Structure 1
Amino acid sequence: MIEIQNLSKIYNTKNGVVKGVDDVTLSIQKGEIYGIVGYSGAGKSSLLRCINLLERPSTGHLTVDGTDLTSLKGEPLRLARLKIGMIFQHFYLISQKTVFENIAFALKAAKVPSKEITKRVESLLDMVGLSDKRDVYPSQLSGGQKQRVAIARALANNPKVLLCDEATSALDPTTTKSILNLLKKINEELDITVVLITHEMNVVKEICHRMAIMQDGRVIEEGAVYKIFSNPKTALAKEFIASVVSFDIPESIVRSCTGPIVKVTFRGKVAGEGVISDTLQQFNLKGNFLHCSIEYIQEMPLGIFVMELKGEKKEIQKALDYIEHRDAQVEVLRDGI
């Protein structure tokens, strides 16, 4: 669906040349929700704007649904962009127009016949749950309702791709969840490919299938969301995941422990099995649980346990080997003292 090949975007600023996007290559599949994560200045929004050529890449190629957008200009490019919807953090609704008129504006700009516009707008209002707000103005809406109008407007011309640039950053947690559920519904029911830019790992965890992590304009880690959450490779990925699943244990608790402290990560169905209790019984050990949680990512469990082990050293090593043979990842955080 979206093929990005060796794409770079260079900006000439008063302080010199800045690489907003640096030689990025990505493949985004049809019908998936793909998250691009990074801190401010990582290049993620620049990359997103290159996907629909709001900004033309300095080098590289970008293909959307089989069409190389970097080869298009003028009217062919305008027509290609109609198949790429986009929503932003700040909505950008026209305050002097009603909800109906805001959505209809996109259709009028695409020269859709007037008799088709009403039917299309009403269908979109029903999809985003705002049929009762048809004739009100943006100032009368909540933030979540404004974003729903923006989503309806982005869907007006039946796009194949929906780009979301920090679409939930200005919303409270409850409203964010409702907007994410709406995006998931749109993805599933309309088979629209969604590319979602965010700095919030909770957003990615909630609805994305695959993801890329960007830093200094480059993609430093990429893959299935579950895989990255369960086995992050880079320091930045670990930092982002820690913002969602915290393993911090008070230093006073750590100092009180005399045995080794280990972190055990269970992936898939084994996360719901009693591996820890089986291990403690089989090797005559005692376990002091310091942290434990089971996260659900794409409806698959990911179990994470941090505990102090007490018992003979040889038995502890046998126990850790046994746990690893049960398809778990074991990391010794601190040896026994």
Structure 2
Amino acid sequence: MIRINDLSKEYETKKGSVIGVDRVNLTINEGEVFGIVGYSGAGKSSLLRCINLLERPTSGKIEVNGLDLTKLRGEQLRKARLKIGMIFQHFYLISQKTVAENIAFALKAADTPKEKIATRVLELLEMVGLTDKKDVYPAQLSGGQKQRVGIARALANNPSVLLCDEATSALDPNTTLSILRLLKKINRELNITIVLITHEMNVVKEICDRMAVMQDGRVVEEGMVYDIFSNPQADLTKEFISSVVSFEVPQSILDQVTGRIVKVLFKGNVAGEGVISDMVQNFDVRGNFLHGSIEYIQEVPLGLFLMEIQGQPENITRAITYMEGRGAQVEVVRSGH
């Protein structure tokens, strides 16, 4: 478990003090994948680097598995950091060393007995699917393969926590998906706690259990990923989610719509039910879909629809009440002409 208590980080610049992280409090549970989302400059990278004390916080406390890292120095801190792996956006592999040598470097730095290094390297290469690249140099690898080497290196000393600093930002969508699936596999099989920072909500939607949204050094929203996607509170969170789930309908289409326009949200198993078709049949109204999708978050469906409902006002009201009774959240976007 990671506990971040009242954490702040200030930087001194020529123009004076700048606050990078501003009194953040977070609890990240053992074995979960936790996403930290924000635009550039939000403070998420600074916060991540404070977790393993690559950046020493100005104030506050960080506990990892019950150990207060802010009280550690020298050899004690070095040993604690061995249990916190880190992967980066730009890989940082040693170009003059082979894939195997890059991974072995992390083991040697941790004083792993020489006779155990070769075996451990092979185990790690198998875990990340690169056994055939053992003697290849980084320049001969694709971006996704380089990141797999970075993941293997980060896992070399059996960490309990893995920090991911924009780990997929430099990769194409297909490669990003394969890396995220590898991270989720590692999380499930090794029970490693993963803290992942990103500016991409698709990344969070794919593998995170819980998330926090940062702005100007502060956490503006925190919770289960599914709950935040289905009911975002902060304006910034809504902005991020709109990049994944958009209800934009061309104005030329809206101009032709005469009925009541409603936004309908179905959570969980309700998303698979024929609520809308039942509503149309039972209440003498007509439904016209303007936009719709079903997202799967942690394998649980989230149905989002924008639709026009036509009919007598009292029938439309009864139809909306019926959908709400069946578990839908309904918001009237426009009352109709």
Aligned to 1:155: 155
Counterparts of 1:3-18 in structure 2 under 5 Å?
A: 3-18=3-18
Aligned to 2:73: 73
Q: Distance in 2 between matches of 1:86 and 1:53?
A: 12
TM-score (norm 1): 0.99
Aligned to 2:312: 312
SS at match of 1:329: strand
SS at match of 2:147: helix
Instruction: Quote the offset at 1:283 in angstroms.
Output: 0.9
Counterparts of 1:246-265 in structure 2 under 5 Å?
A: 246-265=246-265
Aligned to 2:271: 271
Taking only aligned residues, the RMSD between alpha carbons, in angstroms, comes to 0.6
Aligned to 2:301: 301
Aligned to 2:212: 212
Instruction: Quote the offset at 1:122 in angstroms.
Output: 0.5
- Is it true that 1:58 corresponds to 2:58 in the alignment? yes
> What is the one-letter code of the residue matched to 1:255?
D
Aligned to 2:333: 333
Aligned to 2:30: 30
Q: Which runs of 4+ in 1 moved over 6 A?
A: none
TM-score (norm 2): 0.99
Instruction: Quote the offset at 1:278 in angstroms.
Output: 0.8
Q: Distance in 2 between matches of 1:333 and 1:236?
A: 20
Instruction: Quote the offset at 1:184 in angstroms.
Output: 0.5
Instruction: Quote the offset at 1:16 in angstroms.
Output: 1.8
Q: Distance in 2 between matches of 1:147 and 1:26?
A: 28
Counterparts of 1:111-260 in structure 2 under 5 Å?
A: 111-260=111-260
What does the per-residue CA deviation read over 1:196-252, in whole Å, with 9 as the maximum and x for residues that have no partner? 000000000000000000001000010000000011111111111111111100000
SS at match of 2:41: coil
What does the per-residue CA deviation read over 1:233-282, in whole Å, with 9 as the maximum and x for residues that have no partner? 11111111111111100000001001111000000110000111111111
Instruction: Quote the offset at 1:326 in angstroms.
Output: 1.6
Q: Distance in 2 between matches of 1:244 and 1:192?
A: 27
Q: Distance in 2 between matches of 1:35 and 1:87?
A: 14
Q: Distance in 2 between matches of 1:28 and 1:311?
A: 50
SS at match of 1:158: coil
Q: Distance in 1 between matches of 2:249 and 2:16?
A: 44
> What is the one-letter code of the residue matched to 2:19?
K
> What is the one-letter code of the residue matched to 1:237?
T
Q: Distance in 2 between matches of 1:12 and 1:331?
A: 47
- Is it true that 1:109 corresponds to 2:109 in the alignment? yes
Aligned to 1:40: 40
SS at match of 1:53: coil
> What is the one-letter code of the residue matched to 1:202?
N
Instruction: Quote the offset at 1:332 in angstroms.
Output: 1.1
Aligned to 2:94: 94
Unaligned runs of 5+ in 1: none
Instruction: Quote the offset at 1:11 in angstroms.
Output: 0.8
> What is the one-letter code of the residue matched to 1:196?
L
Q: Distance in 2 between matches of 1:325 and 1:71?
A: 54
What does the per-residue CA deviation read over 1:297-334, in whole Å, with 9 as the maximum and x for residues that have no partner? 00100001100110011111111112112221111111
Instruction: Quote the offset at 1:7 in angstroms.
Output: 0.5
Q: Distance in 2 between matches of 1:170 and 1:250?
A: 32
Q: Distance in 2 between matches of 1:239 and 1:335?
A: 24
SS at match of 2:255: helix
Identity of aligned residues (%): 72
SS at match of 1:90: coil
Q: Distance in 1 between matches of 2:332 and 2:23?
A: 37
Q: Distance in 2 between matches of 1:4 and 1:154?
A: 22
Q: Distance in 1 between matches of 2:236 and 2:67?
A: 34
Aligned pair count?
Answer: 337
> What is the one-letter code of the residue matched to 2:164?
C
Unaligned runs of 5+ in 2: none
Q: Distance in 1 between matches of 2:261 and 2:133?
A: 56
Q: Distance in 2 between matches of 1:131 and 1:299?
A: 31
> What is the one-letter code of the residue matched to 2:138?
P
